[in-house]
Structure 1
């Protein structure tokens, strides 16, 4: 089997949703820079992400929506009718110079990733994971839905057992809606309860296709370990997946401003390590994450985990310089803790497994063998 492939693009270095948007921060470019500084990506394992053509996007998104998205990028403005119809030009999905090209490149990367694992392998596209996008409108910072497009690419190859695991702090409403009731895709989503988009309730099985586990605030690493061992791994293994897609959103860590979960990045890396061997084809995507240091460090560690690389306890000076150069307009960014600047690994956040989580796991695991 070939070595894992990293998919990236320089567009993420020069593109932003706007200075006041949560996605004003650099994310993928930081991961690329850290991985290069650590000697972990090179010309052999790096691919430049292509821009998806409209025809490929039409496999999920409606032609009128794609036309509206392209027109909004050209005009750099939208009418009231376009805003209300397609949710473009909103606070969540604003008009910005690369509002079509950037998500189309992310989607192109995820579809390329699916194609690259046709005969087996592992591909990492940290720019992917935009799991809220709907066929006919933008939704939740997501103009397109690259996980859906990647899964559709795998289905077009003739695969009929695909597992999608989502550990973002926000529920994958767009992916669930796309594959509602489909027997060929099994979705497993762990997300914060009572958090936008307020979908993915415990008893919502998406017509039998999904395992949804909404979790309480302050989820700790030991609780996530129980979820991984008792739900995620058994539910994935029982499906005997030919391919596994993992959305590895970084907003479930303690320092993220858009959730109230309390994981360390060790939980994400543990999930990646456990899941990467469950299927012959594995595609790992990014997702949420709104603290530039925690996202960059977490997603860099994902790449190390996919390659069985040792994560250094203390970074060399050139890698530290990349983290030192980051800025963030939130209060936490004005005086970042030293571990954000000197190391990739967080201190583990141990804690008790709460009784309500044990009961929810019991209810969901009872469904696995059904």
Structure 2
């Protein structure tokens, strides 16, 4: 199957609110930038469907879905709804598209499971909402499209699924769903001592869950070590029928909500290393709160997934897309460096492999041989 990108115009102009980290454009930038690069012909684009509540009940409770729809319709929640379902909080505010927008991201991941029935590659940059819980919103995530995408793959005959999450924040919702499932491999790299404060090194479920908290200032060299000594060997040993990669852009140095120092090469190289390891591949977005770094990273990831060459210098029409972005209310947007406008690929951010990274990777790598094998 020709690689497909799933997107929607609902993301253009939609915002969680003036001061929320998700006020920045993300998916719309990916669509504009990939089209400007000539990387997204009409044959490789599909408009994301909006998932209906009945389709979402495979993971979310009917009561929560009703509350979410009601909050969008009325523009308000009462205290009981806020306490039970986590709606109307600073993290998960009431806004105009609070059901339709996440239902579109979820619809894309549900559709991806169908599209990948017989193999292929799909990118859903509006996906990766890995914190959502069955009965409540959590961490900017109203629905959990990652869980829904895995369940859709299962409904379409896919048995063994490897889910890898390289967001700066731990995949708590996905782990909640699958930590006891022997046919799902879970690997999460995330910044230590950062919300949601889950995903400790020793949290292993029944042996198919690998949590790697990374120290502040983790660099490209350290992440390459993680990729080559832990992520790729674990996936190879597991032998998945499908891989889902949550490619959160908040793990790069420019992001305002984390303190990791990766370049986007870490994401591109991880994606390139994983794509040959399964016949089905679903690439999701995730976190990312700097509009330039998110747009460049997810567009570059699409280039890797669809076998496009990333040039050293962007053509004028692509540069114009990036120069048209704004990052109001954040100091990182006041004087953006020129390479945020003129390139997609960052300069590498190499460094030493610290002992704590080496030891944590070695601890987890020792478990790879104990994983249950495919039957």
TM range (shorter): over 0.9
Q: Distance in 2 between matches of 1:180 and 1:338?
A: 43
Which stretch shows the higher mean deviation, 151-160 or 50-59?
151-160
Aligned residue number for residue 51 of structure 1: 50
- For each residue in 1:40-66, what CA deviation from the matched residue of structure 2 results, as whole angstroms up to 9, or x when unmatched? 112100000000011110000000000
Which stretch of structure 1 is more off in the superposition, 201-210 or 232-241?
A: 201-210
Aligned position for 1:315? 314
| Unmatched tracts of structure 1, length 5 or more | none
Shift of 1:184: 1.0
1:254-273 alignment to 2 at 5 Å?
254-273=253-272
Counterparts of 1:106-117 in structure 2, within 5 Å, are 106-117=105-116
SS in 2 for 1:206: coil
Could you list the runs of 5+ residues in structure 2 that have no partner in the other structure?
A: 371-375
| Match in the other structure for 2:336 | 336
SS in 2 for 1:323: helix
**Pairing of 1:237-252 with structure 2 (within 5 A):** 237-252=236-251
Alpha-carbon deviations, 1:254-290, whole Å to 9, x = none? Answer: 0000000000001100011111111000000000000
| Structure 1 match to 2:373 | none
2: CA distance, partners of 1:304 / 1:12: 21
TM, length-normalised to structure 1: 0.99
Superposed, 1:65-84 pairs within 5 Å as 65-84=64-83
Aligned with 1:55: secondary structure?
helix
Q: CA deviation at 1:159?
A: 2.3
The aligned counterpart of 1:287 is 286
Match of 2:301 in 1: 302
1:219 aligns with 2:201: no
Q: Deviations over 1:130-164 (max 9, x none)?
A: 00000000000000000000001112223221000
Q: Matched residues in 2 for 1:310 and 1:160: separation?
A: 33
Map of 2:348 onto structure 1: 348
> Aligned-residue CA RMSD in angstroms?
0.7
Q: What is residue 134 of structure 1 aligned with on the other side?
A: 133
SS at match of 1:276: helix
Give the structure 2 partner of residue 166 of structure 1: 165
Contact (CA 8 Å) 1:179, 1:209: kept in 2 or not?
no
Q: Is the 8 A contact 2:113 2:156 kept in 1?
A: no
- Alpha-carbon distance between aligned partners in 2 of 1:220 and 1:137, rounded to the nearest angstrom: 34
Q: Is the 8 A contact 2:2 2:44 kept in 1?
A: yes
Task: Determine whether 1:203 maps to 2:205.
Answer: no
The residue number in structure 2 matching 1:360 is 360
Secondary structure of the structure 2 residue equivalent to 1:44: helix
Q: Aligned residue pairs: how many?
A: 369
Shift of 1:3: 1.5
Mapped to 2, the partners of 1:358 and 1:341 lie a distance apart of 35
- Indicate if the aligned counterparts of 1:192 and 1:261 stay in contact, CA closer than 8 A: yes
Name the counterpart of 1:93.
92
